[in-house]
Amino acid sequence: MAVDYTTRDGVAVITLNNPPVNGLGLSTRAGIVEGIERAQNDPAITAIVLTGAGKAFSGGADITEFNTPKATREPTLATVIKAVEGSAKPVVAAIHSVAMGGGLELALGAHYRIAARGAQIALPEVKLGILPGAGGTQRLPRAIGLEAALNMIVSGATVLSDTLAGSGLFDELVEGDLAEAACAFARKVGAKEGPHPKVRERQITHPNAAGFIQFARNSVAAAAKPFPAPHKCIDAIEAGVLNGFDKGLAFERECFVALVQTPKSRALRHAFFGERAASKIPDVPADTPVRDIEQVAVIGAGTMGGGIAMNFVNAGFPVTLLETRQEALDRGLATIRKNYEASVSKGKLEPEALEARMALITPTLSYDDLKNADLIVEAVFEELGVKEQVFSRLDEVAKAGAILASNTSTLDLDKIAAFTKRPQDVVGMHFFSPANVMKLLEVVRGRQTAKDVLATVMKLAKKIKKTAVVSGVCDGFIGNRMIEQYIRQALFMLEEGALPAQVDKAIEKFGFAMGPFRMSDLAGNDIGWAIRRRRYQEHPGMHYSRIADRLCETGRFGQKTGGGWYDYKAGERTAYPSKVVDEMIVAYSKEIGVARRKIGDEEIVERLVLALVNEGAKILEEGIASKASDIDMVYLTGYGFPIYRGGPMLHADTLGLYNVERAIRRYAAQPNGDAWQLAPGIARLAAEGRGFNG
Ligand code: 3H9
């Protein structure tokens, strides 16, 4: 049973007991109704306390039940709340830790609410692409006022119970023993004559509700472009204001049912679970012991090393920062300081905090100063010879059990590990630039990386607020290996008839933050050039368009040289289509004997996205990623894939793998088709009528 029923001196205590967060799944819902009825039928009971066991009052509806028969089976949450609200004996919600979504809606159905200080209160449904579907849009405005409620509902933001003191939501805020206080409160109100107050009966008072709602609509229109849910939240609140509680409730329900079935909501829920699933590694049990990490060291104070150091400093870790030359060290420290100063001037950091953070950094030129570090992250030049020097030196100085991490983005981690006599302690921590900003961390698992090293790094990733995804060893790991195929298609399309601005526009309209050519100009076209030159030697048979090499031969490396695929004005980041480059592209097609054709936006998007999907499927098949959602998390958090499409693999499922297979086979039969070798996994899943996510 997911609900416990006990009695305490005339008070029935109904305790949700459905770990981890007391999600309101079917058995929990049934348990609450049963408990309410049992209390009605017991003459010794005068009042009811409704609370949650463990780490939450309730995290809301059980999201895993959405779009399954269980979600609509009675008692639905609406029925549960009706039972609570209709109880003749007063119900007191005793809220601690977390009351979110349906959990808060349940509490709003109670006659009284008392809360522990510091409890997290939210209606976060909008973050899942839905709106509160059990009366939240109707009751919260009646409890805390129209403006505060609308802001909470539309943003999904978490507000502490302390902040809501005096708002009308809570009857009492409690410092000490909540259960004790709730029972005492319940006894007091149980002694009173009913009926007991109902939030639904309160009035929404606002001097200019219509004006405020219009203002909110305008703000949301600018901020929530591709998402329907925030708009529907406002519509539902407005329906309640204009037409009263019952009509508002019915309208809210209608909107909820429609939104929960949309691909956008499915994508957001996929991202929610994908983020949590990424930290679970199939053969590394959750109870794997972790190593203590107190002291961190970073080797290399360049852009990457500096950004990595900032991550740890921000989380309170003392960091020793090693460079080979004083000048480089000074420059690195100055950049870190500049970054923090920018945060101070934006009001995101207190000036004292800046100094405190800088004080956590110990600069050094000596490897001997790394001997106390529990974790050492190397961020030096991407060249195996350089890594060899660093790791053999680390092997000499690092203490036993220290984790030795490489930030390599392209090199073979197993080779790096072999430079030491402790390959079990070596792991990849591939940060993305700017490392202090980007959420993604690829954790690269070498052939011999110890399980406790992996477990430690995954736990640490949470502390430094990264989304960590484990990747096996392969060229480019998950993210860059896939992006290479995407860029390859982008370049082929230039040869065949497209221009950079058209390609970028099409994929940005699909939802990518930045198209491949703007992205290359930002990262530096010389980086891709260096990788390609390596590829030409390693895989001489592999077919690449040489058009990007042509661009690089002219010195157009991107924003940093004032020109790349686009032109840039000094001091600006705006990309202006470049006549010179466009003419160069057209001339190149002619030179290689290609008759340029008009390429539609649909083809551009399809080729780019399916290139990711096809490579992603191979990565999955080879076990480089352990699940499709890991690949999606890499793309959502590191590559600007539109979150409302859930990542390339979920997007492929939405298209249907049968259609994906057909499209890939079609492109494989066209010019440059040799770049398309259909991943066997796609054909297999399509034949079984399945998707990457089941
Ligand atoms: C809703 O309520 C709709 C209603 O308006 C209308 C209905 C008709 N369901 O985040 P954590 C799992 S929509 C199922 O690591 P934390 C989570 O997957 C809901 N599972 O812990 C994870 O599982 P695992 C509105 C859920 O302490 C485990 O719990 N509510 C749910 O860092 C621990 O999660 C929300 O959107 C759920 N509702 O944070 C709240 N919630 O261990 C979403 C969590 O297998 N939840 N799980 O990986 C959160 O924001 C955080 O989980 C919370 C705890 C703050 C509660």
Smallest CA-to-CA distance from 490 within 343, 643, 608 is with 608
Residue-level pLDDT at 195: 92
Residue-level pLDDT at 83: 98
Question: Sign of the CA dihedral 540, 542, 545, 548?
Answer: negative
Ligand 1, atom 47, lies closest to the CA of: 21
HSE toward the beta carbon, residue 569, CA cutoff 13 A: 3
Q: What are phi and psi of 520, to 5 degrees?
A: -65, -40
CATH of 479-688, one of 1.20.58.1690, 1.10.3720.10, 3.30.1280.10, 1.10.1040.50: 1.10.1040.50
Where the chain has pLDDT below 50, the residues are none
Residue-level pLDDT at 527: 86
Ligand 1, residue 280: give the atom nearest the CA.
Answer: 48
d(CA 60, CA 53) in angstroms, rounded, equals 14
Does 638 contact ligand 1 (Cβ within 6 A)? no
Ligand 1 centroid–CA 269 distance in Å is 10
Ligand 1 centroid–CA 59 distance in Å is 5
Residue-level pLDDT at 539: 85
CB 631 within 8 A of CB 625: yes
SS3 content of the chain, % helix, strand, coil (to 5): 55, 10, 35
Ligand 1, residue 76: give the atom nearest the CA.
Answer: 8
Ligand 1 centroid–CA 158 distance in Å is 13
Does 60 contact ligand 1 (Cβ within 6 A)? yes
Ligand 1, residue 56: give the atom nearest the CA.
Answer: 56
Ligand 1 centroid–CA 138 distance in Å is 22
Which burial class, exposed, middle or buried, applies to 266 when counting CB atoms under 10 A from its CB (0-12, 13-18, 19+)? buried
Catalytic residue among 34, 85, 105, 323: 105
Catalytic residue among 85, 125, 615, 661: 125
**Assigned CATH for 3-259:** 3.90.226.10
CATH class of 296-471: alpha beta
Residue 467: strand pairing partners: 440
Q: What are phi and psi of 582, to 5 degrees?
A: -60, -40
Q: Which among 21, 62, 125 is the best mutation to test ligand 1's pocket, defined by most ligand atoms within 8 Å of the CB?
A: 21
HSE toward the beta carbon, residue 99, CA cutoff 13 A: 31
Q: Which among 22, 58, 63 is the best mutation to test ligand 1's pocket, defined by most ligand atoms within 8 Å of the CB?
A: 63
Does 274 contact ligand 1 (Cβ within 6 A)? no
Ligand 1 centroid–CA 94 distance in Å is 19
Helix axes 303-314, 351-359, angle to 10 degrees: 110
Does 52 contact ligand 1 (Cβ within 6 A)? no
Catalytic residue flag (residue 688): no
Q: Whole-angstrom distance between the N-terminal and C-terminal Cα of the chain?
A: 29
Ligand 1 centroid–CA 21 distance in Å is 6
Domain residue ranges in the chain: 3-259, 296-471, 479-688
Does 98 contact ligand 1 (Cβ within 6 A)? yes
Does 20 contact ligand 1 (Cβ within 6 A)? yes
Q: How far is CA 528 from the centre of its chain?
A: 27
Ligand 1, atom 51, lies closest to the CA of: 59
Ligand 1 centroid–CA 91 distance in Å is 24
Residue-level pLDDT at 57: 98
Catalytic residue flag (residue 125): yes
Helix axes 657-668, 648-655, angle to 10 degrees: 100
Peptide bond into 75 cis (omega under 30): yes
Residue 114: strand pairing partners: 94, 172
Ligand 1 centroid–CA 359 distance in Å is 37
d(CA 448, CA 579) in angstroms, rounded, equals 52
Q: What are phi and psi of 333, to 5 degrees?
A: -65, -40
Q: What is the pLDDT of residues 504-514, one digit of tens each?
A: 999 999 999 99
DSSP-based three-state secondary structure for 116:
strand
Residue-level pLDDT at 528: 87
Does 25 contact ligand 1 (Cβ within 6 A)? no
Does 128 contact ligand 1 (Cβ within 6 A)? yes
Does 141 contact ligand 1 (Cβ within 6 A)? no
Does 23 contact ligand 1 (Cβ within 6 A)? yes
HSE toward the beta carbon, residue 95, CA cutoff 13 A: 33
DSSP state of 195: P
CB 229 within 8 A of CB 202: no
